[in-house]
Structure formats: C-alpha cells, structure tokens
Structure 1
Amino acid sequence: MKICRHWGARSLYIMLIAAMGIFGNAATATPSSDGDLQLVIVLSRHGVRSPTAKPGALDVYASRPWPSWPVAPGYLTPHGKQLMAMMGSWYRAYYADAGLLPAKGCLDQASVYITADDEERTLESARGLLDGFDAHCSLDVHTSPKRGPDALFSHDFSNASDADRSLAAAAVLGRLGDDPARLAAVHASLLADMQAVLLGCTPGGCTAAQTAGKKVLMDQDSSVTSASGDGLIAIKSPMHNASTFAENFFLEYAEGMPMSDVAWGRITAVKLGQLLALHSSYSDISLRTPVLAKAYAGTLASRIAATLQQRAASKPVTGAIGQPGTKFIFLVGHDTNIETLGGLLDLHWMLSEQPVDPTFTGGALVFELRRIAKTGQYVVRAYYVSQSLEQMRHSMPLDLQHSPEQAPIFIPGCSQSTPGYDCPLERFSQLIEHVTSR
C-alpha cells in the first residue's frame, strides 16, 4: 500500500503542476555573491532531438502516422541547436555577472573545458553551447569514448556478474511490492488517457474495432528480470512505451511543431504536462533506483568530486576533468546521466511548470565550487536549470532579466541550512566515496 500511495501522490503532484499552467513565467535569476566562485561544472542534457525510433516503427501503436522530422532519428534539430546556443549565451552572461568570467572576448583553453558523449546530438549540442558561450572563438569540444576509464556518459556492463544483475532486478522489484504490474496499475488512469490520444478515441472507450491491427498499451506484459550483455535489468511494462510516447509528444511541442502535429492535435499544453508524469515515473523506477544509479553514475560522480578537489587544491588530482586552473566545465550527455546521478545522491528539484525532477532537453544539473572568504572553506552548491516550455517552443531570448528557471538543490547528508544549501567540499567528497563504495 505504501508503494501505491507514493506513486499516486507523485502523479497527482505532477498533474497539479500542469493544471496551474504549463507556461509559467521563468524566474529572474541573479547570481549569488556569497562566496568567491572558483569553478562551475554543468552536466547538461543535449538539445531538442528527433525521436530515436525509425520512421514508421511506432505507427502500430497509433491510429495515424507520427509526424515527420527534419533530421535523422535521434539527431539534434536546427531548432534544438539554436536553443543550446541561447543557453550557452545565458551561462556566459550569468557567470560574467558573478565575476567568474569576462563578459566579452574569447576564453582561453585553460579556463574552459567541454566534453560530450560521442553521438551526433550530444556533440552538436556541445557545439551549440559554444556558439553562444564563446562565439567565433577556438575552444575545442572533447569527445568522451564509449569504453574505458575516460567514458563519462556510457555504461559497459558486459563484465557484470549474475549476482550484480540479480541484485539490480531485486532492487526494482522491491520498489514495486514484488509485483511488476503494479507500476502500470497505479497509473491506469493516465495510461487510459495516453491510449485515447494514440488511437483518437474516448478514454475507456477504445473498442476492439478502433484498435484493430494496433497494439494496445495495457495488453503488454509486465516483468522485471536480469539482463544480459551490456544491460543489468530488463523491464517490460505498459509504462515503458507510454514513457517514450510522452517524451515524443514533448519533443514535438518543444520543437515548435504546429499544435495540429503535436500528438495529432489531440492534447493541450496542460494535458501534455499530465502525460509527462508517465515518463517521469518510469524514469524514477528504471534509473533512480539506488542500485542502478550507482552502476550507471558511480564513475561520473567520482570524477566530478575529483574535479572539485583539483580546483580547490590547485594541483592535479587523479580522475579529475580539465586542468587545475579550469574555471568552467561543460559535460554534455543525456537525461539518463542526470537521472542516475540524481538518484545516486538522492537529489531532487522542482520547477514551476515541469514534472518532478525534470530532465528536459537543454536542462542541466550544475555544481558550483565556492570559497568562503571568512573561513577559507570550500563549499559546493548545486542547482538545476532549464528553459521553460514556452522559451523552448518559441525560441525566446535569454538574458539576466529573462532567465531559464532555476531550482537550488539540497544535497542530503551534506547541505547546510545556509543560502544556496552550502555543502562543505570535504563532506561532499566523503559522500561521493560512500555512495560509490556501498
């Protein structure tokens, strides 16, 4: 019963957020001057992309073909790159105002480091960020490989043991009351809404005649099992596909498609916000479960901690990203990287118009290293930042008066009750060591 109440409350909150208005105004951001800013690490998701499925592959779930996109499956769109450039320009203005960077002029290679996963959408997103952050200059975009010690964004579980995989499956099942079908059961109402959108019928009234030849969400089996090869677990659930469909509707909306093409004109902006609960809830189970989060994000967390330590010590630290004098680091990956790191550290955030713990395109988890002048102590602050749906859809310019939305994050086991939730660097490093070794 506790599981049901948890998921029901989570979905209800998300729907209330949407009902209050999916187009909430972005808050005006003002950089805090409390503490001498030393280093900023931005873990960003790539920008707006096309769906990863091949054209026609998902038509079996819908009464009409899905809309066409201007790029290949999974590629960054020109609109998505433009939005990343806007975010890059905002980061430059925001941290110039904070005194970390000069407002104009080219930045040197020693002060800025940017690396991306080696996929088209992440590499082009990194280049888009630089178009706004350091326009017409010569900063390099480094590529993170899929394998080896320098892999930041990818996960190789080919050497995982059967015990590792069994533990991962058990951890997920333990959150579901040992019943894989429960995840879909507690979201039955939203799944019915999704089914109605897909087939163009009334919720609860999608008859056999209407679904002839089409796959139906609730007809899919539910299971959680150990995986093989590069995987840890395999989750089957109506929520899996529903999560993908909700994400695709979001991408159509953020891309700026006519509303007649967003979910075939069958949803409003508010309904989109409600359906995104399906994606948020599935991601929470499949990515934020601690055992999985450690497997996916343990290396990334350790390297972020080493990077903060290196800047504070002003000398090389094993595993650190960039150089001791680096002031700004972009890590451009995927929503899975933000989700799993958030799950590993039990980080949570809310923005006014988005689902719980959003990881929208172009959004980022940001870590700041500051030195408190009075004590000489180094502290870490974290926040999540994202353009609003309105800003994304309409390519609204960003500046210090029209900022993306920000949410300061309390780091459990580390943050203090100070402005910005200061987390002492030494304690942050101990926390990372603890969660990656347990």
Structure 2
Amino acid sequence: MMPRRHQAAARLFIAGALWLCATQTHAAAHYQLEKVVELSRHGIRPPTPDNRKDIEAATHRHWTTWVTRDGELTGHGYAAVVNKGRWEGEHYRQLGLLTAGCPQPQDIYVRASPLQRTQATALALVDGAFPGCGVAIHRVKEENDPLFQTEAFPATNTEPATQLAAVQAKAGDLAARQQALQPAVSALKTAVCAPGTDCSFFDKPWQIKQSKSGKTYVEGLSVLANMVETLRLGWNENLPLSQLAWGKITTAAQITEILPLLTANYDLSNDVLYTAQKRGSILLNAMLQGVDHTPASMPDTRWLLLVAHDTNIAMVRTLMGFSWTLPGYTRGNIPPGSSLVFERWRDTQSGERFIHVFFQGQSLDDLRHLQSVDQAHPLLREEWRQADCRITDVGTLCPMKSAIKTLSKHLDPSAITPVSYP
C-alpha cells in the first residue's frame, strides 16, 4: 500500500496536471487562431559573388569555396529550414489553423522572391510543414518582384539626395561610432588577417558614400559586415573549423563577439526610416492587409507565407518600430531562416480580434547542428507589444484596431502601389 505522504503527493500531482490541462483547454477555447502572415528570410548560403569579391580584396586572401555556388541555398541550409517548417506545420495543426494531411487551396499561399535561395527556402518550408504534398511556390515571371526588390521600381526607390541626407543624419559622429566598435573590429581582424599581409583596410576611417545608381553605404563598415555575415553563415553551415576563418573561430561566442558590426551596418542602411518608408511600405502594407482584412486582390488563405531577404525584414521592422535581441545574437540580428510573424486571434467569448506579432529564429549552434525544433529546443522568440496588449496563454495579444494603427503609422502612401498575386 502507498504511504500516506506519497498518496498526498500523488493527489497533488494529479490535481496539478488536471488544472494544467483545464487551463490549456480553456486557453484554446477562449482564443481561436484565424490567420497567419509570415515573412521569412532565406536559409544558409555562401557569400554572394559581389560580397566574395569585396571581402577577398580587403583581406588579400582567398576565402573558402563552398560546395554550393555562391549566393545559393546550401543542402545544410535546406535541412535547417525543413526542421523549422516541420515544427510550424505541427504547431499550427495543434492550434487548429491547419488540418491533418495535405493542405487545401484555402490553407496556404506561398510567394517567394525570384532568387534561387529564396525559392529553395520556400520549398524547404513547405516540405517540412506538408511533406510529400507538392505545395506550389508562387513567384513573379520577371527578374524583380515589386514586393521584395523595391529598389528596381521608381515608386518604391529612394531619391539619392534625400537618402544621403537621411543616412548622414542617423550616422551622426561616424568616427565615434567606428571607435565604439573597435573591440568587434579587432576581433574580426584577428580572425581573418594572415600574418604579414596588408590589413590596413581595417584601420581606415569609415566614410558615407553614394554609388552612381544612388545607393548609399558606409565605406569600410559595409565590407566588414559582409565578412561577419560570411563567417556567421559558415558557422551555421557547420564548415570544418579549418575552413572557417582559417581555424581562428572555434566557438559560437566568437561569432557573437563580431556581430555588432552587422547591427551597425543595418542601422545605417535598411534601418534608416526614410529608406524603409520608400522601400518597405508596400510589403508591410500587404502584411497588415493580409492579417487584418484580406482584399480581393490577395489570396484568402489561413497561412500567407512570404519568403524574401534580411533586407526586407529590416525595412519592415523599422517601419513597425520593432527591435529584438535574441539570445546569442546582437540587437536586430536576422539569422538565416528566421521570420517575422503576424497572427490574428479571435476571442471566442467577445468576438474581439487581436494580433500577435513576434520574431523567431534558431540559435547559432542549433543551425550548425541541424537541431530539430521541439520542446527542449524551441525557436528563440521576441514579441512586439504596446500598452494595451494583454498577456495570455497563447502569447501577447494586442487589440487589432489599435495595433494596426500603430504598426501602419510610418507607411508612405506614395510608395504603396497595386500588387498582383501570381
């Protein structure tokens, strides 16, 4: 016979378990998930051809040639995105948004930027969420998509003089910014400079420049940021340590140490408000329309999945006034395969609708080790919120009307042109 103290403990455990189940059931009954709009970055890739040219010129040495062609999604990157897609599919089935088996046309619509790395990432996401179902990936026929490659269209491109002034104003004392980032610069220099080679590039003063096409950038910083991104992606790819910074980077903490240079480059490029207003308004507007009320021109599906680039996410989050710092990363970092998510929830008792906004991604090491997303290894997540939001068992829910008003206040109407969906 069980001792009395064990019987009491068992009763407490059973009561606690029943309470937890009742709480979860109540949460599921109280709030119903109705719609998801997700903007994902592509997965792991080697440096783009232009980035490789710049970083090799700055360091006077050849950087590792990956198995995958420069700029394209790797096999490892595909597998990492499948892991995320598998979890999302299971998660949204548990929440009642999706049903078992292959999706119906009203369940999901996927649109990806025309580049190989985004098309392949979209395929990996749906392969994970709906294995064997052959979910269609939609793309425009042209080389540039007006939602994503906004620099290619007059209405969504920046005016050079205005953009230059905006970057200069945000940069302020550029020399002081450079000085403050010297620890990260020194760590990067130690990792990638060969003894006896010319590494004077790392010591040159940063300058704000503008190309003939009107693109504004910080000379010096932009190339250092490309080096950091290449090393981070190499770590995520699980490159042999001998091929990653020539054996000088052996821990994720060393990657974290140099990530501030990426944050600084975001601050003076896609995170400049004027740039984001001209080039990101069309995308944020589409996302807000999709989660709030679906216009006739947009597919009316439960899950609208858009797959694009970190630059797109950066501009959208700047318009939103949303910043995050995931564990192991620096402020505003956008890891490969990470995503910005808008969820629409309905209070089943009052009928009121809410929006749940968050950014999510995997850790540096989980990407490196192709760790499956599960309860022990959840996606890193940070939520957007404002004063009238409420903390619930399903996340931070914000009243739809006031949240949409806040999130749309920086939109530039002149940069929002009609969008068709192939």
TM-score category of the 2 structures, normalised to the smaller one: 0.7 to 0.9
User: What does 1:16-415 align with in structure 2 at a 5 Å threshold?
Assistant: 33=28, 35-53=31-49, 58-62=55-59, 64-102=61-99, 104-144=100-140, 151-156=146-151, 159=154, 164-177=159-172, 179-200=173-194, 210-212=196-198, 216-219=201-204, 221-225=206-210, 229=213, 231=214, 233-267=215-249, 268-310=251-293, 317-318=295-296, 320=298, 322-323=299-300, 326-410=301-385, 412=386
Give, in whole Å, the separation in 2 of the partners of 1:101 and 1:387: 23
Q: What is the CA deviation profile of residues 100-159 of structure 1, one whole-angstrom value per residue up to 9, with x for unaligned ones?
A: 112x311112211111000000000101111111111132100146688x6221113663
Question: 1 or 2, which has the higher helix percentage?
Answer: 2
Amino acid corresponding to residue 94 of structure 1 in structure 2:
H
Contact 1:90 / 1:403 at 8 angstroms: preserved in 2? no
Amino acid corresponding to residue 271 of structure 1 in structure 2:
Q
Q: Which residue pairs with 1:9 in the alignment?
A: none
Q: What is the CA deviation profile of residues 210-256 of structure 1, one whole-angstrom value per residue up to 9, with x for unaligned ones?
A: 234x562222651244x554x4x412332111100000000110001
SS in 2 for 1:435: coil
Q: For the structure 1 residues 200 and 359, does the alpha-carbon distance in structure 2 shift closer, same or farther, using more than 3 Å as the test?
A: same
Amino acid corresponding to residue 251 of structure 1 in structure 2:
L
Amino acid corresponding to residue 261 of structure 1 in structure 2:
Q
Question: Number of matched residues?
Answer: 384
- Normalized against structure 1, the TM-score is what? 0.80
User: What does 1:413-424 align with in structure 2 at a 5 Å threshold?
Assistant: 416-419=389-392, 420-424=395-399
Amino acid corresponding to residue 219 of structure 1 in structure 2:
K
Q: Which has the larger radius of gyration?
A: 2
Contact 2:166 / 2:274 at 8 angstroms: preserved in 1? yes
Q: Which residue pairs with 1:314 in the alignment?
A: none
Give, in whole Å, the separation in 2 of the partners of 1:372 and 1:395: 37
SS in 2 for 1:357: coil
Q: For the structure 1 residues 327 and 163, does the alpha-carbon distance in structure 2 shift closer, same or farther, using more than 3 Å as the test?
A: closer
Amino acid corresponding to residue 341 of structure 1 in structure 2:
V
Give, in whole Å, the separation in 1 of the partners of 2:354 and 2:362: 26
Amino acid corresponding to residue 255 of structure 1 in structure 2:
E
SS in 2 for 1:371: strand
Give, in whole Å, the separation in 1 of the partners of 2:155 and 2:285: 19
Give, in whole Å, the separation in 2 of the partners of 1:332 and 1:66: 28
Give, in whole Å, the separation in 2 of the partners of 1:125 and 1:329: 15
Q: Which residue pairs with 1:21 in the alignment?
A: none
Contact 1:114 / 1:126 at 8 angstroms: preserved in 2? yes
SS in 1 for 2:68: coil
SS in 2 for 1:142: coil
Q: For the structure 1 residues 381 and 222, does the alpha-carbon distance in structure 2 shift closer, same or farther, using more than 3 Å as the test?
A: same
Give the unaligned 5+ runs of structure 1: 1-29, 202-209, 312-316
Superposition deviation, residue 282 in structure 1? 1.1
Give, in whole Å, the separation in 1 of the partners of 2:158 and 2:365: 46
Q: For the structure 1 residues 335 and 171, does the alpha-carbon distance in structure 2 shift closer, same or farther, using more than 3 Å as the test?
A: same
Give the unaligned 5+ runs of structure 2: 1-23, 414-422
SS in 1 for 2:128: helix
Provide the alpha-carbon RMSD of the alignment.
2.6
The 10-residue stretch of structure 1 (191-200 or 128-137) with the greater mean CA deviation from structure 2: 191-200
Contact 2:98 / 2:107 at 8 angstroms: preserved in 1? no
Superposition deviation, residue 186 in structure 1? 2.4
The 10-residue stretch of structure 1 (183-192 or 216-225) with the greater mean CA deviation from structure 2: 216-225
Q: Which residue pairs with 1:437 in the alignment?
A: 412
Superposition deviation, residue 356 in structure 1? 1.4
Q: Equivalent pairs: percent with the same residue?
A: 24
Amino acid corresponding to residue 150 of structure 2 in structure 1:
H
